[in-house]
Amino acid sequence: MMKRLLRTGTALLLMLAMLASPMLAADEIMNILGFENGTKQGFAGRAGTEFLSATSTEAYGGSNSLQVSDRTQPWHGPSLNVAYYASSGMLYDVSVWVKSATETAFRLGVQIGEGEGAQYFTVSEQTVSGEWTKLEGKIDGDDNEFFAIYIECDDAQTDYYIDDVLFRPALSGSLQKSIELPSLHEIYADDFLVGTAFTPSDLEGDRYELIKRHFNVLTAGNEMKPQSLSRSPGAYRYTHIDPSIEKLAADGILLHGHTLVWHSQSADWLNLGADGNPLTRAEAKANMEAYITEVAGHFKGKVISWDVVNEALGESIGTNPENWKDHLRKNNAPWYRAYENGADTAAGESGADYIYDAFVFARLTDPGAELHFNDFNEEMGGKRDAMAMMAEELNAQWQTDPRNTEPGRNLIEALGMQAHYNINSVNPAAVEATIQRFIEAGVNVIISELDIPGGGWPNYTPIVTPEEEMEQATYYAELFQIFKKYSDNISRVTLWGIDDPTSWRSDGDPLLFGENTDAKLAYYAAADPEGFLAGEYDNVKYENAGESTAVAAQAPVDTATEQPAPPADDVSPSPAVEGTDDGGGAESSGSGWLLYVLIGLGVAVVAVIVIAAVKKKK
């Protein structure tokens, strides 16, 4: 009775908060540019003589940055026309991370128009020397066809690097409403952890407040993948992620490690020779042990769990597979090919053995971390069975391994369901069947990378109409209802991204928070699936505004070379969670009194319900 009453109270607060927090869809938003795709992502030299190149020599987030060299004037440097993303009357956040070996003053600016009539505004100025430094500020939008952000520095000779360039509608009103909504992780405190993927730049300002409000466990989208941590034998890099981990620990937010062994985004030295051919089985095994011992050892005590092996099975597996090993990735899986090179087939060895070794090395290095196998298309019958069969076989093998000092504890403790669904094909009944099969295999279940974009693979479509938004939200409600049903066996549900524009599937608006970081109908569906499916929620939208903080700046001594708008395919989100965006502004004053009245009424109603229930229980 008490649980039902409390759920009713939560539903009331959700509906009241929703009525007081209407939403407005924003224009298309530019994701963070991190140069992970190896291109300049639309940047060009202001003078046309500078050398700009994506490089892995330095990086603030991920693996790459943009190197700027061959400068001869202080104003020489990179520029990006963002007119496609800007509108007059809108306020925008703009920021960039800069690193220079030489101590000098850097400026982030905005140029509106070209030639003699061009206007220049300094958004931020900082002295940079040896460390990554963030330049950030706000600027009013403009409808001019040339509306460019640029970076310049006083030392005309110095080379430097830029990374994680951001231009987005300013955060304020709608984000504040999302922070004030009932916390997702608190709603599910008795069921499972609620997480999201992040990049280091997410752990700042209002955006971090949103994370802290709704999520209690995070997964690094790119920063803990093998390619981001090591490029050559014995060389490891942690400076791009350690500060974030320390910050999360200080704020009581848990961390899941993603990922130790993967066929993608891994350094060649681990399993390939200089000629591009697979290493021998013995060489690859030694490298894997060295890598996992180093990396899992570095993060020991800092992560609660690891995706030890990611996406080892093929994309499509027929029904009723007889042997999971027959369905592993092989030709496009360097670890498999290396382990196959020198395998004693007469003794039962095969390329598949790398999976068992990876889990053993991880267990021996960090016994305190829960170990997961993570894969996609897991709701399909054949893939579901292959994943379960693999866990059953390797866990049985571990029980007789002399290195096992904890009899009865599984080696593969959880199977991760990536849950990358889409509106055209998501099947809640198949999802439930997968959860049941994994429970039968004797392991825990993780919902590791959940999102539901509009349309279908590979052509995702935006959620535009009320009918589409309702359809997406209904699927979220049905899935979260299933997750709650099996919460004794599900320990974590992670959304793959904070909001739609940061998502790797941003074209399909796949997440709970939208372009303005406002709560979509999907949020209410996930927060209260029973109430949503009972028809208790409607969707309302509202508009925001703000003020600019930029100041006028001097034009460069020379006239900058004219630069075309960046091609659409060059200003795009990088893989996984390489992106950030949001929008918002101040709430209109006319609705402020209504917000306080409704929240107060909601609190009073919940209080009356709880008091009545307590008295009845006595």
Instruction: Supply the residues annotated as catalytic.
Output: 311, 375, 449
Give whole-number Cα distances, 288 to 220, 285, 319, in Å.
21, 5, 32
CA dist., res. 284 & res. 357, Å (int)? 11
- H or E element in which residue 435 lies: helix 428-440
The strand pair at 51-55 and 65-69 is best described as: antiparallel
Q: What are phi and psi of 521, to 5 degrees?
A: -60, -30
Residue 456: CA atoms inside 13 Å, Cβ hemisphere, count? 4
Q: How many CB atoms lie within 10 A of CB 2?
A: 12
CA dist., res. 85 & res. 257, Å (int)? 34
**Residue 341, Cα to own-chain centre: how many angstroms?**
36
Say if residues 148 and 157 touch (Cβ distance below 8 Å).
no
At CA 33, angle to CA 29 and CA 38, rounded to 5?
Answer: 135
Say if residues 508 and 463 touch (Cβ distance below 8 Å).
yes
263's CB contacts (< 8 A; 6+ apart) are: 311, 312, 329, 332, 333, 334, 335, 336
Q: What is the 3-state secondary structure (H, E, C) of 499-516?
A: CHHHCCCHHHCCCCECCC
Angle formed by the axes of helices 2-19 and 592-617, nearest 10°: 180
CA dist., res. 579 & res. 506, Å (int)? 9
CA dist., res. 99 & res. 153, Å (int)? 11
Q: How many CB atoms lie within 10 A of CB 446?
A: 29
DSSP lists the bridge partners of residue 235 as 232
314's CB contacts (< 8 A; 6+ apart) are: 327, 328, 329
Say if residues 324 and 395 touch (Cβ distance below 8 Å).
no
CA dist., res. 521 & res. 19, Å (int)? 12
Q: Which one, of 559, 481, 568, 569, lies nearest residue 526 by Cα?
A: 481
Largest CA distance in the chain: 82
Map residue 604 onto helix, strand or coil: helix
Q: Which one, of 539, 529, 540, 414, lies nearest residue 482 by Cα?
A: 529
Map residue 284 onto helix, strand or coil: helix
